[in-house]
């Protein structure tokens, strides 16, 4: 968290230093010209963000009409919101970051990096790998409940201890599982008494 606060404080400092260097190095550009330049870049950037936002909304509607989730379009929308915030902040560094996020040529690699290094690891951490397909199809991950169980003589099965159910049936294709629940008849009686259950 401290890194983000430092980065947010560093950007205005870089803006102020860059503005001072440009004004002192280029004599023909006064402070008034520099302020006009910052305002002009902000206005051009906001027009660009507005046009890209409309284009992104059209792409989102098109992908939803086709039945595909608009994940890239949603990320583009978030990056365009961030671009608008950077472009509204006065300064050349923030305007540069805003233009990087607004122009599709540079926004697409930023979106891909954001998905790969931020979103997918976060979602995998929250879902245990189900989001990206990195799931366990056999056994358990290290340290999971599978370590407590003993492996039987057959290498493909585990001994679960005493069974909480029994399987009865003579035919191989048809069998019933009796969980030993005595309350099945009570549930049927309650269902018969309920007038809405019919």
The burial class, CB within 10 Å (0-12 / 13-18 / 19+), for 98 is buried
- pTM, to two decimals: 0.62
pLDDT single digits (tens) 153-184: 445 554 555 555 555 555 555 545 555 545 44
- CA distance linking residue 151 with residue 188, whole number of Å: 40
pLDDT single digits (tens) 8-36: 788 888 888 888 887 788 766 677 777 88
Q: Is 167 left (phi over 0), alpha (psi -120 to 50) or beta?
A: beta
pLDDT of residue 177: 52
pLDDT single digits (tens) 29-73: 677 777 888 888 889 999 999 999 999 999 999 999 999 999 899
pLDDT of residue 168: 56
């Amino acid at each position: 968290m401290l890194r983000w606060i430092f980065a947010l404080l560093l950007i205005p400092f870089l803006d102020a230093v860059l503005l001072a260097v440009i004004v002192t190095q280029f004599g023909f550009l006064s402070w008034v010209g520099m302020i006009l330049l910052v305002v002009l870049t902000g206005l051009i950037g906001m027009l660009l963000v507005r046009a890209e936002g409309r284009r992104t909304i059209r792409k989102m509607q098109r992908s939803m009409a086709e039945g595909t989730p608009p994940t890239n379009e949603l990320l583009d929308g978030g990056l365009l919101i961030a671009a608008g915030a950077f472009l509204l902040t006065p300064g050349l560094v923030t305007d540069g970051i805003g233009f990087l996020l607004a122009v599709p040529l540079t926004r697409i690699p930023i979106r891909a990096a954001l998905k790969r290094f931020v979103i997918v690891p976060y979602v995998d951490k929250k879902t245990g790998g189900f989001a990206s397909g990195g799931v366990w199809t056999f056994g358990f991950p290290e340290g999971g409940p599978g370590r407590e169980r003993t492996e039987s003589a057959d290498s493909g099965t585990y001994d679960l201890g005493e069974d909480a159910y029994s399987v009865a049936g003579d035919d191989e294709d048809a069998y019933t599982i009796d969980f030993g629940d005595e309350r099945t008849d009570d549930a049927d009686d309650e269902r018969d008494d309920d007038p809405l259950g019919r």
